[in-house]
Structure 1
Amino acid sequence: MQFNPASYAPQALAADRNKVLRNTYAMLALTMIPTAIGAVLGINLEFRMSGWVGMLVFFGVAFGSFYAIEKTKNSPLGVFLLLAFTGFMGFWLSQILQVALSFSNGAQLIGTAAVGTAAIFFTLAAIATVTKKDFSFLGKFLFIGLVMVILAAIANVFFAIPALSLAISAACVLIFSLYILYDVSNIVNGGETNYVSATLGLYLNIYNLFTSLLHLLMAFTGERD
C-alpha cells in the first residue's frame, strides 16, 4: 500500500490538537492543588489586602507572572511558574473565602459557587469540543467587555458602590463563561498549540467565574447569624 501524506496530515493535526487539549485539562486539574494550598494558608493567616495598595500588588504580580510564563512556556520552568502563580491566586482567593465563611451558610455558598463553576465549565467545554465550531469571532467583543469591567472595578475601588460591584460580578459571569467557550474552541481548532498558555487562560476564566458567582451568592443568599 502506498503512503499518502495528504491523507495522513489531517489525522496527525487532529491528534496534535487532542494532545494539547488533554495536556491542558491535566495541567488545569493540577493547578487546583497549589490553589487550594494557597487558599488554606491565606485563611489560616487571615490574610487581608484591599484598596488601591492591594490592587497594585495584585496587578503587579499577575502581569509579571503572565510575562514570565509566556516567555518560558516551552520549558519545565513555565510549568513551575504557572503552578507558583496559581498558588498565589489561591492565597489571594482566601480573602473572599474568609468573607463567605463569615456567613452562617458560608460553606454552602462556596460549595454552590464551585458546583456552578464546574457545571458551566464542563457544559461550555463540551459544546466547543463536540461541535468544533470556531468561536474566535467572540474575541474582540470579549476583550472590549473585559477592559470595561477592569476599568469599572478599578473605579469601584475608590467609590465602593454596592450596586456597581454586583453589576461587575454579573458581567464577569457572562464574560468569563464565554471566554471558556472561546478558549476551548481555540485549542480544538488549532489556534492555541501550547498547553501551558492554554491552561493559564482557562484557569483565569474558572477563577474569575468562581469568585463572581460567589460574590453574587453572598449578596443575594448570604445569611448572617
Structure 2
Amino acid sequence: MQPQFQSMQTTGSIAVGQNRVLRNTYLMLAVSMVPTLIGALVGIQMRFSFFAGSPLVSFLVFMGVAWGFMWGIEKNKNSGLGVALLLGFTFFMGLMLSRVLQVALGFSNGGSIIAMAAGGTAATFFVLSSIAATTKRDFSGMSSFLTVGAIVLLLAIVANIFLQIPGLYLAISAGIALLSAAWMLYDIQNIVRGGETNYVSASLSVYLNLYNLFVSLINLLMALTGQRE
C-alpha cells in the first residue's frame, strides 16, 4: 500500500506542477498584452514604419533583434530578468504590429478588420486550448512537421521580398495562420502534459503563436474584405 500511496502522491504533485505552469503561462500572456498594446499605440502615434527602407535589410534587422530577445529570454528564463526581457520583447513586437494596424486603419472598415482578427485569434486560442487540455490524442509527433513548415514559410517570405507576388503573399499569410494554430495546439498540450516546465518559455512560445495568427488574419481580411475610403 505504501509504494502505491507514494506513487499517487508523486502523480498528484506532477499534476499540481503542470497546472501551475499552465496557470502562470496564461497569466503571463495576459500581462504581455499590455506592453504589446502600448507598443502598438506608440507606433501608430509615431507613424512607425520599420520597413520603409530596404525590405530585405529591414527584415534581417527585425529577425536579428527578435532572435536576440528570444535568446536572452531563454538564457534568463529562471530569473526576473527573463520576465523583463519577455515584456520588452512584447513591446517591440507591438511596435512592429503598429505598421500593420496603420495599413488596416487606412481602410474604411479597418476597425472591423482588426476586431474580426482579434476575435478570430481569441476564438482559435480558446478552442485549441480546450482541445489540448482534454484530448487523449498525442500531438508531440507534429514537431518535425511544424519545424519544416516554419522553415518553408520563412524561405517563402524572403523569396517574396524580391518577387512581390500578391498571390504568394496571401498564400504565405494563410500558411502562417494554419501553422500558428498547429503550433499553438502542440505548445499548449506540451505544457499540459509536463513537457514544458518553465512558464516564461511557455509564454514566449504561445505569445508568438497568437501574434503570428493575429497578423496573418489581418493581412487576409485586408486582402479579401478591405474597403478603400
- What TM-score do the two structures reach when normalised by structure 2? 0.96
Query: 2-side partners of 1:49 and 1:132: how far apart?
Result: 44
The equivalent of 1:99 in structure 2 is 103
Once the two structures are superposed, what CA deviation does each residue of 1:116-153 show, in whole Å capped at 9, x if it has no partner? 00000110011001225421111110110010000000
Query: 1-side partners of 2:85 and 2:138: how far apart?
Result: 30
Higher mean displacement: 201-210 or 156-165: 156-165
Task: Please tell me whether residue 115 in structure 1 is matched to residue 116 in structure 2.
Answer: no
Task: Specify the code of the residue in structure 2 equivalent to 1:197.
Answer: S
Query: 1-side partners of 2:136 and 2:82: how far apart?
Result: 28
The equivalent of 2:36 in structure 1 is 35
Query: 1-side partners of 2:98 and 2:159: how far apart?
Result: 23
Deviation at 1:2, TM superposition (A): 6.2
1:189-204 mapped onto 2 (5 Å cutoff): 189-204=193-208
Query: 2-side partners of 1:90 and 1:151: how far apart?
Result: 24
Higher mean displacement: 129-138 or 192-201: 129-138
CA contact (8 A) 1:132 1:185 kept: no
CA contact (8 A) 1:133 1:185 kept: no
- In structure 2, the gaps of 5 or more residues are none
The equivalent of 2:14 in structure 1 is 13
The equivalent of 1:162 in structure 2 is 166
Query: 2-side partners of 1:132 and 1:53: how far apart?
Result: 45
The equivalent of 1:219 in structure 2 is 223
Task: Specify the code of the residue in structure 1 equivalent to 2:203.
Answer: T
Indicate which of 44, 65, 69 corresponds to 1:65. Answer: 69
Query: 1-side partners of 2:224 and 2:85: how far apart?
Result: 37
Once the two structures are superposed, what CA deviation does each residue of 1:78-120 show, in whole Å capped at 9, x if it has no partner? 0000000000000000000000000000010000000000000
1:192 counterpart SS class: coil
How many aligned residue pairs are there? 225
CA contact (8 A) 1:156 1:165 kept: yes
CA contact (8 A) 1:73 1:196 kept: yes
Query: 1-side partners of 2:139 and 2:197: how far apart?
Result: 16
Query: 2-side partners of 1:87 and 1:106: how far apart?
Result: 22
2:108 counterpart SS class: coil
Task: Please tell me whether residue 147 in structure 1 is matched to residue 147 in structure 2.
Answer: no
Query: 2-side partners of 1:29 and 1:41: how far apart?
Result: 19
1:61 counterpart SS class: helix
Query: 2-side partners of 1:31 and 1:2: how far apart?
Result: 45
Once the two structures are superposed, what CA deviation does each residue of 1:21-67 show, in whole Å capped at 9, x if it has no partner? 00000000000000000000000000112201210121011110111
